[in-house]
Amino acid sequence: MSPALVKPRDALPPARVDAHALDAALDEWRTVLGPQWVLSGAAPGLARYHDDFALDDARARAPRAALQPANLKQVQKVLEIARRRGVPLWPLATGRNLGYGGAAARQAGMVMLDLSRMQRVLEINETLGYALVEPGVSHLDLQRELARRGSALTAAPPAAGWGSVLGNLLERGHGHTPRAEQFDNLCGLQLLLADGTVVETGLGARERGKPRALLPWRHGLPAASLFGQANFAVVTRLGIALAPRPAALRAYRVSVAAEDDLRALVERLRPLLLEGVVAPGGAIVSLLLDAALVTTRRRLGGTTGPLDAAARARLAADLGLGAWNYHGAFTGSEDSVAGDAKVLAEALRGLTGARFEFEDVAGSSPGVALHAALARGVASTEAHAMIDWVGAGAHLDLDTSLPLRGDAALAAFRAHQALSEEHGFDYLASFQLGARDLRHRHMLVFARDDGHAGARAAKLYRALAAAAARRGDGVLRTHLDFMDDIAAQYTWNDQAWLRTCESLKDALDPTGLLAPGKSGLWPGRGGRKRD
Amino acid sequence: MATDNALPLEVLLARLATVVGAEHARELPKGARYGALLPSGLARRARPRAVVTPASAEQIQQLVGLVPRLAHEIWWSPDASGHGAQVGDGRRPAVLLDLSRLARIVEVDRHDGCAVLDAGVSHTALHAHLRERDLPFRCETEANGASAVLGTLLEERWSVGPWGEREAFYCGFEAVLPNGTLLRTGMGALAGSDTWARTRYAYGPALDGLCGHGGLGIVTRYGLWLAPRPRQLLPFAARLADDSAVAQAVEALRPLQLTGTVPGTVGIANERAAAALVVAGGGKAEASSGWRLWGALAGHAQRVAAAANALRAALPALRFGDDAEPANDPAWQARLRLLAGEPLFDDLVGERVAALCFTAVAPPTAVDARALLALVGKRLAQVEPRAELRVGARALLLEVTVESTAKTLATRRAALQSAMNALVDAGYGITRATPLLERAVRMRQADDGQRELARRLRAALDPYAPRRAASSGVARRRSS
């Protein structure tokens, strides 16, 4: 089989929808949902469905209409009409997946299925530690509801808490608590297949079933795993595991002075991670990513290009930051936390220039308060400040995974920094500790008010992604514009993974009704985008 | 009867031999292995007609194309040492793929404990590999070290201790799908990636679910995260007089497990289960009544001490370390070895008697523990069940095993079926069962939506899938 055909985003044609069929469908949807929940034509609300951080003209991907159902029954009716009229839909939870495409679809002319009105927290089970939520519930919503109930439970929110809990988990976002791997917190889904079949995964499949959100997806009937980053169904409800607040939590930072110390820092942290002294979710943050919380590139003066090494060293000294800053937290009892701190201090001994400080000492330093809050499961929007590094900011995120090894981290850093500077960008990134890997999250921050910056960011992104694949560092999720490119990187055994996904797509959504092109998965009918 | 119109055995074996060689395609042995103790009529219908031992994924790919064309089902097992390999469901003649020749330990990374293993690697082999190379890691084990690591992983059998929730430690499968595709899940789909056994979720849909209970992939290789040898391992134990004490213990443990103070799982076994472990290991057991709770804490000294204090406060009956149980108690000695990751025995022949088993899942609360034990106890009182609870942070598993001879099989099977039905009707789940029991309960506990999803997944990947929805989901299955 030949390699996938990589099409730049602007080569994608608009969604093929018969105008008469769409008009007829819109009439039917208005009857089902009420006219105020069907946006089309010049409706002002339709402008919301775009990518806030588009890499070119956001209007080029404008949808034809948006539908806002309020419950499962309405979603079923919407799908029935779409199926009958042959109008594909692009489901959205809240559309706040910034850096990955926001509230846009892959193609222009799509009809958006906006689930943000389904925003009930259906259950919080204090005894068993889980919540059942609808797609429109954000991490900030969930946090407010937990507080209102006086709950002892916390979620694991991402850095920006305004996004959907369900969307973040299904897109495999990461939190910052020990339960950072959001997908592992999945405890049951309610799915609506394209033909209208409702599927409850796990124990939810039985009417008399005990708590639906009892088991992680890996246990028992395993269908739930298929629906992350997928377009096989509309997900209308999520069970998510929550963790009780620990008796003691102490946030801390370890900073190292030299960029090359990244290697030694990873090597020292790895055994402690395996042992459970340091937890998954902590992040080794680059100097500029922490600095961007409190300053901007323009404020630092000098040329407009990337900061050179001398300027970075001055900035580190001014802000009390290291070249790398590991933000973590110990949790447990007071005694166990004290023991953890002792073990970490011992492990860092001999690492020249390393500083290990608790939040009460380093609290005023950039990033410490933010990461301490995230480690406590407190959602916020504070992290958004970093995108203003280059003016009216936007960001494009590249997430890759690599082995939990110092040399691998250093190689990735060096490659990304060199390519960034070559393309005129500063390197703002973090290495988050996974259970057995590192997640390299590189934020390509660019200025929205610079007409060419988005295109330059896209060019850099492609170069970085290609280099990462050559190193064997796989991309974990991506922006709408690059979904075909990234899917095409997964080439083992003649693209067995992609071919299998396409078979599943054809079986579960044979007419390509749901999110065509999502994650590089196109429906078979009418021809795939790749040969 | 399923085999009446089947291909003559010698023809079947000859065709299978074209793939694996004559010495690796044979009639099902008459010995104890593969369930020969079952009544002859039932055994003839339910047992696979032939067993093949492929040596590679490529041979398995050829077999999944060949066997259905010979009008046979494929059963597969990592090693055929467990309960599941003993019987099929008897609807069609079957060929068993025994993967025990796929026994290579491909890699154990000295730094991060990430391993890549072939499907047939046994607990004993992995344990020996770690010990001989002085690798600072351990692996959860089964009493029978001959059993495949993959088998217990896919069957979602929890061990006891800080790493007891086994399914949390696999990372990536290589599997042959029914359509012959060799698939790698996770980062295995990225050619040249060094993170297949390190990053569980890669890009796009995660296809792992097809391979486990999904039954749509014959797993040939997989990634496994080994735990580091802990600085301290502190075992603990308690004797619990009756079901009520068991329920109270479950209630006391849950908050400690949810907060991670006591990570992993705690075991609670009835005395019959405790004794069986001793006998199976070649020892002699004393008969007594009641339940035995056991587990272990791991980590650095202060973390272990803090957790022990919390446990003492919650469960005053607990004893720790050398005081946990009498040193000369064989049941305790067996459990200490298991907690240390050591198999108790290594027996490829497997159980001398046929065993029927199932695992039920419930919320880890006192109410549910009491209900589980009552539902099962009432229906199995006459069949001497071995019962073991595994208490985790978010689930309570009840493993029930009943030994059976040819004479008692029918009544015991009926008793277990009755217990499983009662559990399902009360809202509990069954996550695992002997194939003789499984199909009925699977159909009973899945709703129409889940059955439809299963049918479509199978239709997508299995060119030989039955077309009728009622027959879907279990046409080919894994056993271990």
Q: Which of A101-110, A447-456, B252-261, B296-305 has the lowest mean pLDDT?
A: A447-456
What's the average model confidence in pLDDT over B423-427? 88
Q: A189-203, A237-251, B335-349: which has the highest mean pLDDT?
A: A237-251
Chain A residues within 8 A of B177 when measuring between CB atoms:
500
Q: Is the pLDDT of residue B413 over 70?
A: yes
Please give the pLDDT value at position A526.
45
Find chain A residues with C-beta within 8 A of B200's C-beta. 181, 435
Give this complex's ipTM: 0.94
Q: b/e per residue, A199-208, with b = 16+ CB within 10 A?
A: bbbbbbbbee
> Is A232 near chain B, with CB under 8 Å?
yes
Once rounded to an integer, what is the mean pLDDT over residues B195-206?
Answer: 96
pLDDT of residue A517: 95
Q: Given this model, what pLDDT does residue A118 score?
A: 98
- Residues of chain A positioned with their CB less than 8 A from the CB of B425: 208
- In this predicted structure, the answer to whether residue A208 has a pLDDT above a threshold of 90 is no
| Res. B36 pLDDT band, cuts 50 70 90 | very low
CA distance A403 to chain B (A): 6
Who wins on pLDDT, A366 or B437?
A366
Question: What is the model's pLDDT at position B32?
Answer: 39
What chain B residue is nearest to A187 in terms of C-alpha separation? B394
CA distance B122 to B119: 9
Task: Name the residue facing A507 among B300, B425, B460 (closest C-beta).
Answer: B460
Give residue A204's pLDDT. Answer: 58
pLDDT at B465 over 90: no
Nearest one of A383, A384, A515, A393 to A104, comparing CA atoms: A515
Give the pLDDT score at A10.
45
pLDDT at B286: 59
Token output for A408: 């691998």
pLDDT, tens only, A411-454: 999 999 999 999 999 999 999 999 999 999 999 999 888 888 99
CA distances from A356 to A46, A173, A362, B280, B324 (A): 50, 28, 9, 52, 39
Closest-CA residue of chain B to A279:
B260
Q: Is the pLDDT of residue A216 over 70?
A: no
Closest by CA to A100, choosing from A55, A136, A68, is A55
pLDDT at residue B303 greater than cutoff 90? yes
| Residue of higher predicted confidence among A8 and B284 | B284
Could you tell me if A478 lies within 8 Å of chain B, comparing CB atoms?
yes
Minimum mean pLDDT among B20-24, B47-51, B55-59, B412-416: which range?
B47-51
CB-CB: which of B181, B204, B307 is closest to A521?
A: B204
Mean pLDDT of B168-188: 95
A11 contacts: CB under 8 Å, gap ≥ 6:
none
Is B361 in Cβ contact with A223 (below 8 Å)? no
Please tell me which of the candidates A184, A208, A490 has its beta carbon nearest to residue B427. A208
As a whole number of angstroms, the distance between CA A117 and CA A71 comes to 8
**Residue numbers in B near A193 (CB within 8 A):** 452-453, 456
Distance CA B250, CA B371 (A): 12
Taking only residues 266 to 285 of chain A, the set having a beta carbon closer than 8 angstroms to any beta carbon of chain B reads 270-271, 274-277
pLDDT at B304 over 90: yes
- CB contacts of B189 in chain A (<8 Å) are 490-492, 496-498
Least confident range from A466-470, B35-39, B267-271: namely: B35-39
Cβ distance of B446 and A200 shorter than 8 Å: no
Q: Which of A436, A489, A492 sits opposite B198 (nearest CB)?
A: A436
Query: For position A168, what pLDDT does the model report?
Result: 96
Average predicted confidence (pLDDT) for chain A: 91
Chain A residues whose CB is inside 8 A of the B368 CB are 210
Mean pLDDT of A162-166: 95
Q: Minimum mean pLDDT among A13-27, A269-283, B143-157, B248-262: which range?
A: B143-157
> CB–CB of A172 and B201 under 8 A?
yes
The alpha carbon of residue A299 is apart from the nearest alpha carbon of chain B, in Å, by: 38
**Cβ–Cβ of A496/B300 closer than 8 Å?**
no
Nearest CB among B207, B261, B368 relative to A497 is that of B207
The pLDDT confidence band at residue A39, using thresholds 50, 70 and 90, is: very high
Per-residue pLDDT, B288? 63
Mean pLDDT, residues A193-198 taken together: 95
Q: How confident is the model at residue B91 (pLDDT cuts 50, 70, 90)?
A: low
Using the Cβ of A487 and the Cβ atoms of chain B, whether some distance falls under 8 Å is answered with yes
Q: What is the arithmetic mean of pLDDT over B231-256?
A: 97
CA distance A264 to A259: 10
pLDDT at A327 over 90: yes
**B300/A333 touch (CB, cutoff 8 Å), yes or no:** no
DSSP state of B346: -
Mean pLDDT of chain B: 85
pLDDT of residue B281: 60
pLDDT of residue B83: 44
pLDDT score, position B78: 78
Q: Among A199, A241, A343, select the one facing B449 at the smallest CB separation.
A: A199
Q: Going by DSSP bridges, is the β-strand pair A111-114/A65-67 parallel, antiparallel, or unpaired?
A: parallel
The predicted pLDDT at position A331 comes to 95
Q: Which two tokens stand for residue A71?
A: 């419950």
pLDDT of the residue at B189? 97
**Which of A56-60, A331-335, B44-48 is most confident?**
A331-335
Choose, out of B107, B108, B184, B190, the residue to mutate when testing the contact with A (most A CBs < 10 Å): B190
In this structure, of A52-66, B124-138, B160-174, the range with the lowest mean pLDDT score is: A52-66
pLDDT-derived band at B439 (thresholds 50, 70, 90) equals low
CA–CA–CA angle B166, A336, A184 (5° rounding) = 30
**pLDDT at residue A6 greater than cutoff 60:** no
**Residue A215 forms contact with B (CB below 8 Å):** yes
Among A399-403, B86-90, B311-315, where is mean pLDDT lowest? B86-90
pLDDT at B464: 81
> pLDDT digit string (tens) for B2-18?
455 689 999 999 999 99
The structure's pTM equals 0.94
- Best of A489, A495, A500, A521 to disrupt the B interface by mutation (most B CBs within 10 Å)? A500
- Site from A171, A185, A186, A210 to mutate, B interface, most B CB atoms within 10 angstroms: A210
What residues of A are in contact with residue B212 (Cβ under 8 Å)? 218, 222
Q: For A391-410, what is the mean pLDDT?
A: 94
| Closest CA of chain A from B186, distance in Å | 9
pLDDT in tens, A112-153: 999 999 999 999 999 999 999 999 999 999 999 999 999 999
Least trusted range by pLDDT, from A20-29, A44-53, A301-310, A503-512: A301-310
Q: Phi first, then psi: what are they for A208, rounded to 5°?
A: -90, 10
The answer to whether the CB atoms of B431 and A270 lie below 8 A apart is no
DSSP string spanning A133-182? E-TT-BHHHHHHHHHHTT-SEE----SSTTSBHHHHHHTT-B-SSTT-BG
DSSP secondary structure of B29-96: PSSTTTTTTS-HHHHHHHS-SEEE--SSHHHHHHHHHHHHHTT-EEEEESSS-SSGGG----SS-EEE
For the ranges A72-76, A113-117, A364-368, the lowest mean pLDDT is seen at A364-368
* Bigger pLDDT: A343 vs B442: A343
Q: In the predicted model, is pLDDT for residue B88 greater than 60?
A: no
In total, the C-beta contacts within 8 angstroms joining chain A to chain B are 302
Banded model confidence at residue B77, pLDDT cuts 50, 70, 90: confident
- Report CB contact under 8 Å: B184, A276: no
Residue A199, pLDDT > 60, answer yes
Does A335 contact B306 at a Cβ distance shorter than 8 Å? yes
Contact criterion met (CB < 8 Å) for A223 and B208: no
pLDDT score, position B443: 67
Distance CA A500, CA A502 (A): 5
The answer to which of A49-58, A110-119, B176-185 has the lowest mean pLDDT is: A49-58
- pLDDT mean over A290-314: 90
